[in-house]
Amino acid sequence: MDIGKINVEELQRKLAEANATWEAEETHLSLLTSQEQQNWLGLTPPTNAQSITEIEQKIPSILESIQTETLGAVNLPPVFDLRNINGKNFVTSIKNQKDCGSCVSFGTIATVEASLRMQHNDPNLQVDFSEAHLFFCHGQADGRNCSTGWWPPSAYEALKTKGVVDESCYPYDEGLTKKDCSGLCTDSNNRLTKIKSYTELTGNPAKIKEWLSTKGPVSAAIIVYQDFLSYRKGVYKHVTGNQVGGHCISIVGYDDSQGCWICKNSWNNTWGEQGFFRIAYGECGIDHWCNHGVDAI
């Protein structure tokens, strides 16, 4: 029996029984087989990093400690959302990685794009970097592809040492077709943007909040369970279903009253809350596995 395709009615019953803080619906991911679902993720830690299994084992103690950790974030606003800073939206538009394990490219670039807008204090700054360049050129040079996925620190190193071009120099759909670096525009060397530095924030929710409210978004790694694929709205907490794999996203805000992070995903704007989602502090390893902010670009 395929453990993929999700019975959403059964999931909705379980959410009701659990008094869950979120709602489910049928999505383009819930209809897929388990192998197809994995293709929409793509975060794979190297051997020297914490594995999914190790993070899973730590989650109960993380959830126990999270209350005291987040309360440590004194003198910070109780709610912060990069999509609405005095009515201004510093977050770039939702994108779609499709059925390729390129989430690391999307999660890190989403973080870089909004960080650049924050550094310029300009929510209208036209910025759209090429996930195809980062993944199919730099990721491929790292031995990574749609099937194997990638790891955020490796992507940030590439963004720092090699740089990334704009989307029109290498559009993502073309990258998906070619699956290598051959689609890069001819003047790519003149169109590179590099980040100067990035900072690890893993395991420090108070520091992540401070970073969000002063500098910009923070990339994160999460464990995806089957029920998350059917997420519609609300504050997600894992209720039921098997683990599907690791996924990279960008945290763009938080809300202490709801005890949650506000995040940008890369599964198109038809999924979740117009492509975004909220997830409880500590859930799925979001603030304790692999978190980074971009210092300067």
Distant-in-sequence contacts of 84-88, Cβ < 8 A, 24+ apart? 85/123, 88/123
Catalytically annotated residues: 103, 247, 265
Q: Pseudo-torsion of CA 89, 41, 152, 224, nearest 10°?
A: 80
CB 267 within 8 A of CB 102: no
The tokens for 194 are 């590099």
Nearby residues of 276 by Cβ (< 8 Å), 6 or more positions away: 83, 94, 252, 262, 263, 264, 265
Half-sphere exposure in the Cβ direction for 192 (13 Å, CA): 17
Task: Give the separation between CA 264 and CA 49, rounded to whole angstroms.
Answer: 24
Count how many residues are written for the chain: 297
